[in-house]
Structure 1
């Protein structure tokens, strides 16, 4: 099965391939919106829908179009991708020893239909030392990830536990996506 993936994320590509789906990568030309953390659910949903709509307008409906937007929320603040190492250090320090939420908005369009949903997972970090944070930042892994960590990489050792969908934290909640496909007849 093939789908159009409105994202250049290698993590999302790998997750789809894990399900036997071959993604045709078509990154969206869409300016993501920001917002207040109390509206985080809507921010993730708006961004996913916007990306999906932009690509759908370009490619039509021969194949399903899938788009996603993942955000990290703590203390009523949305943590995006850090601008630099100093911002990554501040984010990881803030997450240390605490629980935060990872929200991924997912939008799918196919044959004139659209579904959009948000998956939320609680993620608890263990207490991190300043040296551990510095060593992790030195790997450069945190610099292209919301909240400055990747659970599927070296950042796995930062996480003490999760409550919810692991794949959501990676960037694409596969169980929810599978159900969306089923509802759309994909």
Structure 2
């Protein structure tokens, strides 16, 4: 278990212990950027979905991750679970299983628009009170046309292999992004501003500044 930037006592601002149920370095960076102190405890829950609808799927997966850690936690706590998928023509694209799979994904995305969905679940406990919220954000992304050589060269960097849709918008693939419509951070892996607003709506102080 690793601690991240807990700069002040949470009790000073009436803040619960916050746990991120994800090992994603990109989500950690976004929470740090927002000044939200947290602890990382990655969920080990088996990822299963019961729907082919991307928005519903990421909500299901975020709920699974969040509840896995929430049920194992004691005392006043807030757990954040998240999951991201890419969808093209309604078909969900997860992480590539091989370089060949990554090439195929990128070939299907080049020169056209697709969607990125991130689901987020918040579970908060204070005394005997338990509150839960699940939502998702959608961002549209348009790629410039990519040659087969460009695709293969990008895949050979290894960057696409642990990312939904076989690309990381904050990485080398940035040179192929023509435009986005919606929250950029949602594509990175966490709709930070929406998360902050949802926490505020729940009456939860989350930032340390």
- TM-score normalised per structure 1: 0.95
Which of the pair has more CA radius of gyration?
A: 2
Tell me whether 1:169 sits opposite 2:183 in the alignment.
no
State which of 113, 124, 133 in structure 1 corresponds to 2:131: 113
Give the root-mean-square deviation of aligned CA atoms: 1.3
- Give 4+ residue runs of structure 1 displaced > 3 Å after superposition: 34-37
State which of 30, 39, 47 in structure 2 corresponds to 1:24: 39
Counterparts of residues 78-117 of structure 1 (less than 5 Å): 78-111=92-125, 112-117=130-135
Residue 135 (structure 1) aligns with: 153
Residue 147 (structure 1) aligns with: 165
- Over residues 100-151 of structure 1, what are the superposed CA-to-partner deviations in whole Å (9 max), with x where a residue is unaligned? 0000000001121011101000000000011110111111000000000000
Alpha carbons of structure 1 residues 35 and 75: separation in structure 2 relative to 1, 3 Å:
farther
Residue 3 (structure 1) aligns with: 18
Alpha carbons of structure 1 residues 36 and 46: separation in structure 2 relative to 1, 3 Å:
closer
Q: Distance in 1 between matches of 2:94 and 2:57?
A: 12
Q: Distance in 2 between matches of 1:95 and 1:132?
A: 13
CA shift, 1:36, in A, is 5.3
Determine helix, strand or coil for the equivalent of 2:140: strand
Residue 33 (structure 1) aligns with: 48
CA shift, 1:35, in A, is 5.4
CA shift, 1:60, in A, is 3.4
Aligned length: 185
Residue 42 (structure 1) aligns with: 56
Q: Which runs of 5+ in 2 are unaligned?
A: 1-9, 11-16, 205-209
Residue 156 (structure 1) aligns with: 174
Whether contact under 8 Å (2:86, 2:164) holds in the other structure is yes
Tell me whether 1:63 sits opposite 2:81 in the alignment.
no
